[in-house]
Structure 1
Amino acid sequence: MKIKATMDKIPGSMMLFPLLIGATLNTLFPETPTFFGSFTGALWTGAMPILAVFFFCMGSTLSFRATPYILKKGGALLITKVGIAAIVGIIATQFIGNDMILGGLSVLAIVAAMNDTNGGMYMALMGQFGKPEDAGAYSIMSLESGPFLTMVTLGAAGLAGFPWQAMVGAILPLVLGMILGNLDKDLRDFLAKAPPVLIPFFAFGLGCGLDFTKVAASGLTGILLGVFVVVVSGAALFLVDRLTGGNGIAGLSAATTAGNAAGVPAAVAAANPAYAAVAGNATIMVATSVIVTAILCPIVVSWYANRLQKKEKPLLKQQEATL
């Protein structure tokens, strides 16, 4: 049976399917973790430790070394991505606050969906349509990963503060992994293999904290959230990419939601219980946004790249004619 090969054809499947399986089991058999206990119960309720390992191992892949262009491009896209999420979060706070509106939309869901770029999607699109130096910009952009910047954004939005210990604790695994990965290349290569394997396990644990009877109305809103991420963040990132010497492809390619962003609402709720009531809905909405942006973003990038190519052909012919 080619289970993985089939799953790989669906964007974000390694996160989506385990999440849905966990949510289904929790909806139908909510007493399972206490009934079995032991390792079964730990897997059912253990998303946070797995996420901690995930961020540590992912941190090991981040390099301190970067060329000036990569620093400029990656830094500009990083600041824009986080900045636009903060602006939208602050505006949304005026209407939603710490609550949810119809369909399960919350500021936590909006910020978590907008803050983190799908690195695999970005690199794949850069490999097909972009430049190598723009692909290298993700080494800077990957600092978005984890709940830290989402906590900062929510704090800036005035929703709730976080103790400094929680803020440091949110980024510490990533930083420690980054230090080790830069000290020892062999250790980086060893730890870099873990993040893709851990995704279905923390996704299952996150799913086990969801109840379909409570989040059934979030599906359509999650789809709209994904479209919103591509359109709003895509427009801002496109403009900044052009202003920093790019052709816009890198900016459009960053207008996605990362798979690991689905773990951010639970991490935020663990740091501040004020978000516990909305974390479940936010998780499934962010997961939906992951899928929507993974489908929509490549379509937009492909269309724009083809448009650029058609514009460049007449210019090339003119240059050849003058030679």
Structure 2
Amino acid sequence: MAEAIAGGDLSRLRQLNTQSALRLLRGAGAMTLTELSKRTGLSRASTEDVVDDLLAQRWVVEEPPVAGAMGRPARRFRFRSDAAHALGVDIGGHRVRAVITDLDGTVLGRAQGEVDADAGRDRRLAVADDVVAECLRASGLTTGQLWGAGVGSSGLIDPTGKVVLSVDIPEWTGLGLADHFGARLGVPVLADNDGRLAALAERWRGVARYAEDFVYLLAGLRTGLGLVIGGRLHRGFGGAAGEIGALPAAGWIRAQEHLRRGGAEAGDLFAAARAGDRGSLAAVRRYVRDLSVGTAALVLTLDPQMVVLGGGFSRSADLLLDLLRRELDKQCIRTPEVLASQLGDESVALGAVRLALDDVELRLFGIRP
């Protein structure tokens, strides 16, 4: 897509100049030609040529003159965050969510749909396609206005967007998620594990946005994980970083079983515990005890600034956080902050959008996040 910005007949130098001007306009708001010329180091004539190209391609817009200004005011230009859009899709065991944002991350449309937990690949993808279509309708956009998409789902997903292994969703192993949505949307698509994308969202606009190192727990009917180290999402050599739940001794495989007391749903059990039911409180304590084992192993290994509790169970953070802190105090040399995510059910979809936006910005501005 970078070629589309610069134009096919422009030189590499002209393309770099264009990207430089876009980066400055994106970060600085409205600027005059003189200001932009000084910041880019280009001559005024070259700056004017670049801005004229960007105006024609609708990447920038001229601001109206300031009301009441004396004399002939200098022309001012700003970057158009609505010039392109990104889509984020979260495909879970029971639900599919999608959000669409502009380049500033402002949500313009959202949609969701239910899917049976035992639904096969074709049925789940059909629901996802419908949800994406509904999200586009809600935003008033078309696929032609998208510049990229991100998709999150459970399982081990390789850099090509293929599900290498999934034990939670039927017929999911071997699926090329990026290929499926790329063919339907006609834009570059990236895919990654849902826990990682939720961590990416948390780093973007959640409680961890100022943290360089943190552990994110996607706590729900299964436990997922995301690791941010040095301000960057950590995937590992083969994309399997943080898959500590595969180790039985870590306790995560059995942790959720404690919340199925008497056939009750987890939400009902949390409500009973909140009301003081002793059996339910004991079940919650056992759940947290198992959750803490794998978490403590990660804390001892990484020494993170914080542990963020997200996912569906974060709604019951009033019950879980203090218990988790106490368990970590017992097992860790230094207990980090333990905080609850405030992003709600859209965390994975937002992380998928951020994944897409990072790729768009690489193509648009020539810089990595």
The two structures have a TM-score, normalised by structure 2, of 0.22
The two structures have a TM-score, normalised by structure 1, of 0.24
Q: Which has the higher contact order (CA 8 A, sep 6+)?
A: 1
Structure having the larger proportion of residues in helix: 1
Structure having the larger proportion of residues in strand: 2
